Structure 1
């Protein structure tokens, strides 16, 4: 019903007053011929108010003559009449078209580029590079290739671990997360090579310094693998200690632990095949849903179909979305320890065993 009213608002309708001794007969004959009238109410003993579409009004007039009723148009509503009024005002229509085109054009252009990161030096550097790469105020936002700019940022800035580009209105916002880089050590400064993770050593190749571990050793994060302290024995037999910048290759097997919880009794949802259609109009963060009748399913899931824009993006984010209420049936299934273990293996694709 609401969908029909919305459609009539788009194509235009009239608010009419029906006067006569046989107003009920006129309404009945209109219904018999398939003419849709809504918001019908009696205002006087021999007078009714109603709403009818433009096409329906033209078909209603012959019925009014047969039932000896008179019809008066009180108001004309809807997009149809609004466009007709604009046609008679060509200057106003041209102004509206120009205004809409100007708003659309201005809203399609990037007016500001922002980079969100705490490091001011990094922010200014990225802004400068983005301008050279083509992302700057004045470009059309619909032609922006986000992946191109993200790849350029991540390739040129090794200290950036994550980047994202978001378009908000006429602004382009670049979110950056800095990588925790190891402290820079000047060439020639003595230092050790230490373990970054726990693991079991399987290869050691010291290029400079003294190896303190061998294959098969177990190390913890922070342990010294190659020492920068090198002991040398001189020609006079005196032992001296030399501090160097340790360098080498140390490989180890590291392990990662993951877990998954699987209940012994699992609730399984299955679709029954019964669905109910509904619709919603969304504008901004608000939405209006309408449907014929209530959803009588005891348990169901909602599924949005493809959204269709109602207005151009420049005039607002308004969309019309068909949706489905899909009935589901919930059943409890006992898995047991063995079944839960198999389900865990299926989810992770690896041999997790129940403890």
Structure 2
């Protein structure tokens, strides 16, 4: 098989040899090492054979000695195919364009997919990656994933994980980060834990400092829950100041209110649909419509991007953007209190739960219609952590007060 392909690549001809001296012709070919294949004698003075182009050219120098004549019956192989295609400039131009397109697709980045944690600013991360050479059209060879990972972690102190994977001509970026911790007091500062809001103490866990309240006590905002002034723990001991911290859970009561207009406008679609098309080549966008992409009137705008790709990892730098505008008209409508109850209560509870370090244990609400609006008044019962650190201005009592008997 390989030998046949090699002969076709070099070129071969099928010849017809005629003459009365066919034995002399065969002896001449054997003497000069000219190979004849697939020989077939059809008459006493006629012979068919296949030989390579090189052997046929060499045979022309010796034909006068044989008294035979040689005619080419058929030509096969790459040299003859190339000769037939040589005048077809469009075909060769298309082939060169195909090679150039393949080289451009395989050597540069044409798609970037991102998975960036919301704790990080995705726009800032992508801008920094662009400065490091990761962008559409960037040469794949110039992207050093290990070096870029080290540099981007230096640029983003809150980033905890970064990965850059190259598959074909597409790049996948994964980044995770943590929300920066809230500013806290220096561990060497003298602090106390005070109540952030009113409540009834459920439990006190003083990790350092002296508990100033106990379960069942009612406290108000600003009351000391854990003091930074520690009493002596043994005889002849002394008072000391510390960085008090701990957790204090309390039963709390919160109130919330909200209002929503009962008169609303509903959408009634007219059936009118308008589409605009745009072609994106690399980083360049070519609008295939006249005017701007802002449609007048009231409408829903739906954008869809279709990217030409061979597979998940081989992407062409060509995308078709379809902008669909679905037009509608606004019609006035009236809602009842019952129609908006579930949504208003859910939103109010969600806002309260997001603002507390604890959980909601119960709630009661009233929803009334007042002046064309639904008015919600809600009372929420919760168990939450109400202790926050604050600077403690306590002073160590003088020795005479320390020695006084405690009652």
TM-score by length of 1: 0.46
Q: Which one has a bigger Cα radius of gyration? A: 2
Instruction: Identify the structure with bigger relative contact order (alpha carbons < 8 Å, sequence gap 6+).
Output: 2
Higher strand share: 2
